[in-house]
């Protein structure tokens, strides 16, 4: 039974019928554009033997949806999907039983097809029919879900059931393509006004009093201004129209760029020496894995290598946005937002305003897609904070590009050191992986005080939330994928969590996995080179233990797709190379192998990515492939382009000029193969391709020019520095 179903065991918590008789499905997992609502719709449709168009997925909200915490970790199909599958199967079988009892027949004679129950009566010699609405009672909605009904799904189509073939078409895509879809940015409520909260670029700062006073007077004199409110280091502005606000925003942001209004205080890590800065901080050290009791006694050839990545930014093209409205008596608050954790946000907003959570309603509305903790929760607080100034009126707050890049949490910088030993037979005998990184989580809803940026900056601030890592039971944070997936007898994994956070850091897609996989798979290629083995053959030789068949299968599949074992083309251009990498996400999730083909010229140009993935039972093949492709391309952008620039005034990379991302013209062809395992549980697709893609690009660069990249991003400048340094890729 999934954790979601344990917490919400009743049928009414997952399914319902509206007044028109259409099936409603409830989930606490939100759609960020990744199409999870469609995948969940397909699951419910399959179990109820209905067409997907007959299922209405109710947008997540804190009044009607089950509390499933945060939409993260590639767990939506595993958790919410499993719960909805059980709920739908339970409802179907309860209705089948009611039909049988009413007709006085054995339940096995009742068929379910196209959302209708039927049976052939021998006495009357006719077929009787009934719908879900006709067979469902009030008592049935209150029943606890019996998970036994779901066990026969893949074994047979039980009791004569014939599921409909689900449509592969997502119902939201056409409206998004044609600009008809209503995002949170498009929502207009009666009497709505517009607001913005201005703040310093660092977590600690002080107001420059005379400049702030002059600014307040200037803003109050502008037309269309409703309210100007200063509290602590925050300055809030409310206007009647979005146009009036836009003029004020430009004026204030120009002043901020000149260092006005706030005196910022922040330690700035040296971008050129991040590994040593991380190691010099106070550390919380844990041993994640230790099987060194199995240490070999024979002589080994050792290699040691260190890898690192800079701070990264979410850099969503869409901006964070929220709407909020207090009742006239300020006793109830409603928030519309694209948060990934509506219940967590509700909890922290209630803490921030010292009110019971039951008096806060949060409704999810699709907005800027983001894998990780961006500014969505912070902008929700901004809207609620400003809405107090105009009780009864809805307030809309949309961050600017400068605010989006300057105030959202960063992904932590990381350093990873690997020390490995290989024996005379070419087998890895020992492996030690050591990680230095800040924690990868400051999301709301998990501490005693609110983890919302604005609550740390008022006149009576709450304490800044220190970044922590998720428990290893759910994949960890900075230590995610730090344990090698290969057969190695002696393994030690050490994680050093950095206890200093001059800039706010939190979760980004895959957390620590991309850096750990980049490091580990780079070392795997180095070891293969030392042992004079092909990188594919070397990996397969270390996947021979029980339970590794699925890992072997994805590696062999991607090798076949890319023609890995065929002779290299004679006419390949100078700087041509290809690289291979593999990982199982979190060591418990999806299996993914990637091959990259590229050319290194004045910069790295990707030609093609091949990806083979085992997701267990695939619910929506098109959606899964989209997720894998998107994860690979975002990882390619990280590894080739992205690095946050920090200054004493805050995050300096606050526009597209100084925070470039991969352009459409840089995009390679991507081929995805899904190796469906219909009898296995579903595994998440959203994050599994990130790590192998980073590593495969690094390995392809080495194959192309013989230079081992140890530090992201692989920009032309960093490539040139590495080549000129002529540093050995690893040190014996």
Digit-coded pLDDT (tens) for 647-682: 999 999 999 999 999 999 999 999 999 998 999 999
pLDDT of res. 294: 85
Across the chain, what does the average pLDDT equal?
94
As a dihedral over the C-alpha atoms of residue 59, residue 64, residue 67, residue 69, rounded to 10 degrees, the angle is 30
Mean pLDDT of 40-64: 96
Nearest CA among 368, 399, 370 for reference residue 386: 399
What does the buried/exposed string (b/e) look like for 227-243 if buried means 16 or more CB atoms within 10 Å of the residue's CB? bbbbebbbbbbbbeeee
Cα dist. 396→22, 192, 320, 353 in Å? 33, 7, 11, 19
Mean pLDDT of 130-159: 78
pLDDT reading at 370 higher than 60:
yes
pLDDT of res. 569: 80
Task: Categorize the per-residue pLDDT at 151 as very low, low, confident or very high, splitting at 50, 70 and 90.
Answer: low
Nearest CA among 117, 87, 92, 86 for reference residue 102: 117
Cα dist. 539→606, 687, 706 in Å? 24, 22, 20
pLDDT of res. 124: 66
Task: Categorize the per-residue pLDDT at 120 as very low, low, confident or very high, splitting at 50, 70 and 90.
Answer: confident
Mean pLDDT of 4-26: 96
pLDDT reading at 126 higher than 90:
no
Percent of the chain's residues with pLDDT above 90: 89
pTM: 0.95
pLDDT reading at 154 higher than 70:
no
Digit-coded pLDDT (tens) for 349-360: 999 999 999 999
pLDDT reading at 165 higher than 90:
no
pLDDT reading at 161 higher than 50:
no
pLDDT of res. 298: 82
pLDDT of res. 689: 98
Cβ atoms 320, 337 nearer than 8 A = no
pLDDT reading at 166 higher than 70:
no
Digit-coded pLDDT (tens) for 519-564: 999 999 999 999 999 999 999 999 998 889 999 999 999 999 999 9
Digit-coded pLDDT (tens) for 478-502: 999 999 999 999 999 999 999 999 9
More confident residue, 545 or 44: 44
Domain edges within the chain = 3-168, 184-265+320-398, 414-440+476-725
Digit-coded pLDDT (tens) for 216-236: 999 999 999 999 999 999 999
Three-state DSSP class for residue 217: helix
pLDDT reading at 164 higher than 60:
no
pLDDT of res. 726: 63
CA pair distance 706, 574, nearest whole angstrom: 12
Strand order in the sheet with 111-113: 111-113, 116-121, 126-131
pLDDT reading at 597 higher than 70:
yes
165: how many CB neighbours lie within 10 A of its CB?
Answer: 10
Token look-up 């920090």 returns: 646
CA pair distance 25, 14, nearest whole angstrom: 6
Task: Categorize the per-residue pLDDT at 168 as very low, low, confident or very high, splitting at 50, 70 and 90.
Answer: low
Percent of the chain's residues with pLDDT above 70: 96
pLDDT of res. 150: 77
Mean pLDDT of 354-371: 94
pLDDT of res. 727: 52
Right CATH for 3-168 from 3.40.430.10, 2.40.30.10, 3.40.50.970, 3.30.365.10: 3.30.365.10
pLDDT of res. 156: 36
pLDDT reading at 446 higher than 70:
yes
What does the buried/exposed string (b/e) look like for 277-306 if buried means 16 or more CB atoms within 10 Å of the residue's CB? bbeebeeeeeebbeeeeeeeeeebeebebb
Task: Categorize the per-residue pLDDT at 153 as very low, low, confident or very high, splitting at 50, 70 and 90.
Answer: very low
- The two structure tokens encoding residue 269: 């890590």
CATH topology of domain 184-265+320-398: Aldehyde Oxidoreductase; domain 4 (3.30.365)
CA pair distance 158, 139, nearest whole angstrom: 25
pLDDT reading at 157 higher than 50:
no
Rg (CA), the chain: 28
pLDDT reading at 340 higher than 90:
yes
Instruction: Determine phi and psi for 646, rounding to 5 degrees.
Output: -110, 145
Distance of CA 38 to the CA centre of its chain: 17
pLDDT of res. 199: 98
CA pair distance 534, 528, nearest whole angstrom: 6
CA pair distance 87, 40, nearest whole angstrom: 12
Query: The dihedral of CA 29, 35, 40, 45: what is its sign?
Result: positive
pLDDT reading at 7 higher than 60:
yes
Digit-coded pLDDT (tens) for 393-406: 999 999 999 999 99
pLDDT reading at 573 higher than 80:
yes
Cβ atoms 195, 383 nearer than 8 A = yes
pLDDT reading at 121 higher than 80:
no
Nearest CA among 370, 292, 691, 720 for reference residue 521: 691
CATH architecture of structural domain 414-440+476-725: 2-Layer Sandwich (3.30)
Digit-coded pLDDT (tens) for 174-203: 999 999 999 999 999 999 999 999 999 999
- The two structure tokens encoding residue 325: 């409205």
Domain 3-168 identical in fold to domain 184-265+320-398: yes
Bond prior to 713 in cis (omega within 30° of 0): yes
Task: Categorize the per-residue pLDDT at 732 as very low, low, confident or very high, splitting at 50, 70 and 90.
Answer: very low
Distance of CA 622 to the CA centre of its chain: 18
Digit-coded pLDDT (tens) for 78-118: 999 999 999 999 999 999 999 999 999 999 999 999 999 99
Digit-coded pLDDT (tens) for 263-303: 999 999 999 999 999 999 999 999 999 999 988 888 899 99
């Amino acid at each position: 039974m999934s954790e979601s179903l344990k917490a919400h065991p009743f049928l009414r918590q997952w399914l319902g019928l509206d007044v028109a008789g259409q099936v409603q499905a409830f989930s606490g997992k939100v759609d960020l554009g990744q199409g999870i609502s469609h995948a969940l719709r397909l699951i419910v449709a399959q179990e109820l033997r209905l067409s997907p168009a007959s299922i209405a997925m109710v947008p997540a909200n804190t009044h009607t949806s089950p509390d499933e915490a945060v939409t993260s970790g590639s767990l939506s199909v595993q958790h919410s999907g499993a719960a909805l599958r059980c709920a739908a199967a339970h409802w179907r079988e309860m209705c089948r039983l009611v039909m049988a009892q009413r007709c006085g027949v054995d339940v096995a004679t009742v068929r379910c097809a196209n959302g209708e129950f039927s049976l052939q009566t021998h006495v009357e010699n006719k077929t009787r029919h009934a719908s879900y609405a006709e067979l469902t009672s009030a008592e049935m909605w209150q029943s606890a879900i019996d998970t036994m009904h779901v066990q026969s799904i893949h074994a047979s189509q039980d009791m004569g059931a014939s599921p409909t073939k689900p449509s592969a078409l997502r119902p939201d895509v056409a409206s998004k393509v044609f600009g008809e879809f209503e995002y949170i940015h498009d929502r207009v409520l009666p009497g709505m006004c517009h607001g913005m909260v201005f703040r310093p670029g660092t977590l600690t700062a002080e107001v420059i009093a005379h400049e702030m006073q002059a600014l307040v007077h200037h803003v109050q004199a502008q037309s269309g201004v409703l309210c100007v409110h200063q509290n602590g280091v925050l300055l809030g502005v409310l206007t009647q129209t979005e146009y009036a606000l836009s003029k004020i925003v430009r004026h204030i942001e120009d002043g901020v760029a000149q260092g006005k209004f706030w005196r910022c205080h922040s330690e700035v890590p040296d971008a050129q020496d991040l590994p040593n800065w991380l190691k010099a901080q106070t550390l919380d050290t844990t041993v994640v894995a230790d099987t060194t009791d199995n240490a070999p006694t024979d002589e080994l050839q050792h290699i040691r290598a260190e890898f690192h990545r800079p701070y990264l930014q979410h850099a969503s093209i869409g901006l964070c946005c929220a709407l909020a409205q207090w009742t006239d008596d300020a006793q109830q608050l409603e928030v519309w937002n694209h948060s990934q954790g509506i219940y967590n946000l509700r909890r922290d907003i209630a803490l921030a305003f010292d009110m019971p959570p039951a008096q806060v309603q949060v409704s999810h509305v699709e907005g800027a897609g983001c894998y990780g903790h961006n500014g969505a929760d912070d902008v929700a607080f901004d809207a609620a904070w400003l809405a107090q100034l105009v009780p009864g009126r809805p307030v809309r707050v949309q961050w600017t590009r400068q605010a989006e890049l300057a105030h959202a949490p960063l992904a932590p910088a990381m350093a990873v050191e690997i020390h490995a030993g290989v024996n005379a037979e070419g087998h890895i005998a020992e492996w030690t992986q050591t990680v230095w990184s800040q924690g990868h989580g400051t999301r709301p809803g998990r501490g005693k005080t609110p983890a919302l940026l604005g609550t740390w900056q008022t006149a009576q601030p709450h304490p800044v939330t220190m970044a922590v890592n998720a428990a290893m039971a759910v994949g960890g944070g900075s230590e995610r994928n730090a344990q090698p997936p290969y057969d190695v007898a002696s393994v030690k994994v050490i994680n050093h969590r950095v206890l200093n956070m001059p800039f706010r850091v939190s979760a980004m897609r895959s957390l620590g996995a991309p850096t750990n996989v980049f490091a580990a798979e780079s070392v795997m290629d180095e070891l293969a080179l030392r042992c004079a083995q092909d990188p594919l053959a070397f990996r397969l030789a270390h996947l021979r233990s029980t339970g590794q068949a699925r890992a072997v299968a994805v590696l062999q599949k991607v090798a076949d797709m890319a023609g890995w074992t065929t002779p290299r083309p004679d006419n390949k251009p100078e700087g041509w190379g290809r690289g291979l990498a593999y990982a199982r996400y979190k060591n418990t999730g999806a299996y993914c192998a990637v091959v990259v083909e590229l050319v290194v010229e004045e910069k790295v140009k990707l030609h093609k990515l091949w990806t083979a993935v085992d997701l267990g039972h695939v619910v929506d093949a098109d959606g899964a492939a989209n997720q894998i492709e998107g994860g690979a391309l975002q990882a390619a952008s990280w590894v080739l382009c992205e690095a946050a620039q920090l200054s004493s005034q805050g995050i300096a990379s606050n526009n597209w000029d100084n925070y470039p991302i991969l352009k459409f013209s840089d995009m390679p062809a991507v081929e995805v193969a899904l190796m469906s395992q219909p009898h296995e549980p579903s595994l998440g697709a959203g994050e599994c391709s990130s790590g192998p893609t980073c590593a495969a690009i690094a390995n392809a660069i080495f194959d192309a020019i013989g230079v081992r990249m140890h530090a992201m991003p692989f920009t032309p400048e960093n490539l040139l520095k590495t080549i000129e340094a002529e540093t050995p890729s690893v040190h014996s």
